[in-house]
Amino acid sequence: MKYLIVGLGNIGTEYDATRHNIGFDIADAFVIKHGGNFELDRHAFVAQCKWKGKHFVVIKPTTYMNLSGKAMKYWMDKEKISIDNCLVLVDDLALGIEQLRLRPSGSDAGHNGLKNIQEILQSKEYPRLRFGIGNQFAKGKQVDFVLGKWDKKELPIIQQKILASITIIESFATQGIAKTMSDYNK
């Protein structure tokens, strides 16, 4: 079984360790745990890992957030991976900083990366792991907040949630989305 794991983020050091790049951070941690390496390829940094008989293709699109669908669609087609075996890792302002939520489908909720994926795939029916980043910003400061770095006091929670995200990805591949949602969406 093959799975495509799509970490959403923006390339460039100015975006490293920002709230909006949490998808890249989860992808990095997953690949490190499973002994893979990212290499630059078409539309993405790509790593391949195997775990418990499952083959994971993990991508970090180089198309920037707003064109994430282009990279996802290319790698789905290239690797012949069905939409049900794809998992998008994405930041979410609507969830508190302590929350993770796995969903089989849904709206883009104003997220430009998800919006582009839906446009390219012509579907809202793709699994996504939403990583809560909170919404503690002043009116008109959403962009600064999303592209900002984590506060030092948030980092222990973020590290714990990244580890939980790895477990959720593993469960998604071995137990399926329904069981994983039942176990981890609390």
Both tokens of 44, joined, read 């993405």
Specify whether 34 is catalytic: no
DSSP assignment string, 15-55: GTTBGGGHHHHHHHHHHHHTT---EEETTEEEEEEEETTEE
Catalytic site residue from 20, 34, 43, 111: 20
Question: Based on the number of CB atoms within 10 Å of its own CB, is 48 exposed (0-12), middle (13-18) or buried (19 or more)?
Answer: middle
Using left for φ > 0, alpha for ψ between -120 and 50, and beta otherwise, residue 64 falls in left
Residues labelled as active-site residues: 20
